[in-house]
């Protein structure tokens, strides 16, 4: 077992990606930039070894909370970023659609189902995709399941929306205003962080 | 100072860590456990887990996509 240099593969892959980007640019610029964004996302995900499945699973199973803290940092960056983007868009009069959906009992049921699948498959949607790219064979089976599930979900979405749409949609910024809403969310996140740190200390004493 | 080997080929997190936890209970202090895996996240997770629990750990990518971890039980 000798570690071979992968430089040739690297250069070849980069070249194909650039050519594909140029091709997409001819068809539609929007698609091309989405392609660049998804490449960047995938690269970051692979290099950072971030795993959403592990961030929810590890505190319970192995008592490690490193990834959970990483996830909280992501949300800490995301929430003000979301508010800034929204304000920037409204100031510049660019129409923006916020995909805010009502929260209810169905969120819990869906979350539990997704969580069971996620732990069994060894990764959430992005994690599975990233590891298929890395060449981990077992997750290719999970990818087939993921594609079937995503397709079924897409087809049956109007039906679910019809059933669960009577839940009142709560959008915090509409009730409290943007600044208090963002601050409240950040405070809640910091509280969760403290709880997780305490949880880790407790687990460490046990083992 | 015995050396043990644990088979975790093709396993996904968190199975390797749980298997390691169980195996480590049988080991004495100073014994070494050798693990080989083809899952990048598993090797990372094992290293982080071992460091958090105060074990000595050495990680090496021996071939493209294959990681060898030598874990020495310290406590």
Omega of the bond leading into A97 within 30 degrees of 0 (cis): no
Extract the runs of DSSP E, i.e. beta strands, from chain B.
3-7, 32-37, 56-63, 66-72
Note whether B34 and B5 are within 8 A (CB): yes
Q: Which residue on chain B is closest to A1 by alpha carbon?
A: B63
Note whether B36 and B69 are within 8 A (CB): yes
Q: Which residue on chain A is closest to B39 by alpha carbon?
A: A136
User: Length of chain B, please?
Assistant: 75
pTM of the predicted model, to two decimals?
A: 0.77
User: Length of chain A, please?
Assistant: 207
SS3 (DSSP) at A5: coil
SS3 (DSSP) at B53: coil
Where does the pLDDT of residue A187 fall: very low under 50, low under 70, confident under 90, or very high at 90 and above? very high
Give residue A166's pLDDT: 64
A8 at B interface, C-beta within 8 A: no
Neighbours of A188 (CB within 10 A): 12
Candidates B8, B14, B47: best to mutate against A (most CBs of A within 10 A) is B14
B24 chain-A contacts, CB cut-off 8 A: none
Q: What is the pLDDT of residues B14-73, one digit of tens each?
A: 788 888 888 888 887 888 888 888 887 788 888 888 888 888 888 888 887 788 888 888
DSSP chain A: ------HHHHHHHHHHHHHHHHHHHHH-HHHHHHHHHHHHHHHHHHHHT--HHHHHHHHHHT---HHHHHHHHHHHHHHHHHHHHHHHHHHTT----------SHHHHHHHHHHHHHHHHHTS-HHHHHHHHHHT-THHHHHHHHHHHHHHHHHHHHHHHHHHHTTSPP--HHHHH-HHHHHHHHHHHHHHHHHHHHHHHHHHHHH-
Burial degree of A94 (CB within 10 A; 0-12, 13-18, 19+): exposed
DSSP A124-165: -HHHHHHHHHHT-THHHHHHHHHHHHHHHHHHHHHHHHHHHT
pLDDT > 90 in chain A, percent: 18
Complex prediction ipTM: 0.74
Distance CA B29, CA A1 (A): 31
Distance CA A207, CA A89 (A): 50
Where does the pLDDT of residue A20 fall: very low under 50, low under 70, confident under 90, or very high at 90 and above? very high
Residues 12-51 of B with CB under 8 A from A: 12-14, 17-18, 21, 38-41, 44-45, 48-49
Separation in Å, CA of B53 to nearest CA in chain A: 8
Where does the pLDDT of residue A36 fall: very low under 50, low under 70, confident under 90, or very high at 90 and above? very high
């Amino acid at each position: 077992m000798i570690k071979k240099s992968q430089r040739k593969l690297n250069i070849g892959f980069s070249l194909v990606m650039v050519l594909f980007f140029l091709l997409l640019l001819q068809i539609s610029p929007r698609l091309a930039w989405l392609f660049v964004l998804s490449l960047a996302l995938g690269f970051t995900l692979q290099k950072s070894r971030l795993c959403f499945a592990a961030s929810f699973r590890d505190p319970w199973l192995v008592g490690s909370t490193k990834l959970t803290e990483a996830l909280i940092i992501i949300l800490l960056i995301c929430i003000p970023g979301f508010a800034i983007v929204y304000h920037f868009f409204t100031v510049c009069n660019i129409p923006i659609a916020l995909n805010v959906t009502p929260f209810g009992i169905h969120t819990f049921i869906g979350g539990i189902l997704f969580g069971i699948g996620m732990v069994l498959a060894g990764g959430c949607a992005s994690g599975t995709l990233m590891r298929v790219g890395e060449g981990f064979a077992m997750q290719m089976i999970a990818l087939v399941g993921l594609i079937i599930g995503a397709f079924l979900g897409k087809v049956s979405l109007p039906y679910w929306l019809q059933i669960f749409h009577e839940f009142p949609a709560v959008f915090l910024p509409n009730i409290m205003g943007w600044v208090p809403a963002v601050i409240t969310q950040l405070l809640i996140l910091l509280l969760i962080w403290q709880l997780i740190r305490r949880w880790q200390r407790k687990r460490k004493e046990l083992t | 100072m015995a050396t043990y080997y644990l088979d975790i080929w093709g396993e996904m997190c968190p199975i390797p860590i749980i298997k390691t936890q169980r195996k480590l209970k049988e080991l004495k202090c100073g014994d070494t456990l050798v693990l080989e895996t083809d899952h990048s996240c598993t090797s990372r997770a094992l290293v982080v887990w071992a460091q958090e629990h105060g074990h000595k750990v050495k990680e090496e990518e021996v071939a493209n996509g294959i990681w060898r971890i030598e874990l020495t039980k310290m406590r």
